[in-house]
Amino acid sequence: MGHIDIAYFPIVGRGMQINIICKMHEIDANFLMSKPMGEDFDKDTQAPFGTVPWLKDNSNGIELNDSLAIVQYLVTKYEGPLTPKNPEKAALTAMYWSWAQDYYSFVLSPFHDIITGHNETFWRNLRLTDSLAEGGKELGVTNLTILHKKRLQYLEDHIKKMNLGPFITGSECSYADIFIYTCVKSVQETGGFEILREQCGNEPFKEFPNILKICESVNQIPKVQETVGSKFKDCPV
């Protein structure tokens, strides 16, 4: 067993970024599949807040139940190429990661509901975007496609204005780059997001070349390639 246990679902979601960080920082991790999509872990009874991703560091007993807390803990506790080098880089990285978190929460997660037919009111309210409200699936897809483009445009314009590259914080990859990359690749390659690709003429990032350049920089990192393999194409979302 690895000295770190991480529980998630067999999807890309918020979990793939954690897998990549562990690989890049050479962290010995044991990946568990949580109920209801696996049998290794029961998020409802074992995670502090009943959600995943969940992490336990067996070297000190700490348990974490939030994506940002987990990511920041890993790159701080186990220093490596994604560890911010100074307070300024740390702040910028957290800001760009938060952009990706918002995009995931308010665009990709509601699309998950549509793709999987997940109509539980609790989750739709939690996301603050009731994609299956009056108007049903068709209106939900239309509205979320508009939001997809609006959120991306903010980041695209910012990258151009600040002349950012090859990564979002400059010459070195950050954990924010990793999350942006996994969000983009999910839309580009996972089977479920065909519904969004079709809405965008099969080119969901055609209008956002600067974002794609950053993702391509991430994609060239050997340990990213080793971790990802064909997982995006194999995962439903």
Domain ranges of the chain: 4-77, 87-228
Distances (CA, A) of 42 to 2, 7, 33, 64, 184: 19, 9, 9, 15, 29
Contacts (Cβ under 8 Å, ≥6 apart) of 217: 165, 166, 167, 173, 177
Secondary-structure class of domain 87-228 per CATH: mainly alpha
Give the mean model confidence (pLDDT) for residues 139-160: 95
Do 4-77 and 87-228 show the same overall fold?
no
pLDDT at 93 over 80: yes
d(C-alpha 219, C-alpha 214), whole Å: 9
CB atoms within 10 A of CB 53: 24
Across the strands, what pairs with 56? 5, 63
Distances (CA, A) of 212 to 118, 120, 189: 30, 34, 14
Q: Which amino acid is at 205?
A: F
Q: Which amino acid is at 8?
A: Y
How confident is residue 138, by pLDDT bands cut at 50, 70 and 90?
confident
pLDDT at 213 over 90: yes
How confident is residue 1, by pLDDT bands cut at 50, 70 and 90?
very low
How confident is residue 110, by pLDDT bands cut at 50, 70 and 90?
confident
Secondary-structure class of domain 4-77 per CATH: alpha beta
Q: Which amino acid is at 63?
A: E
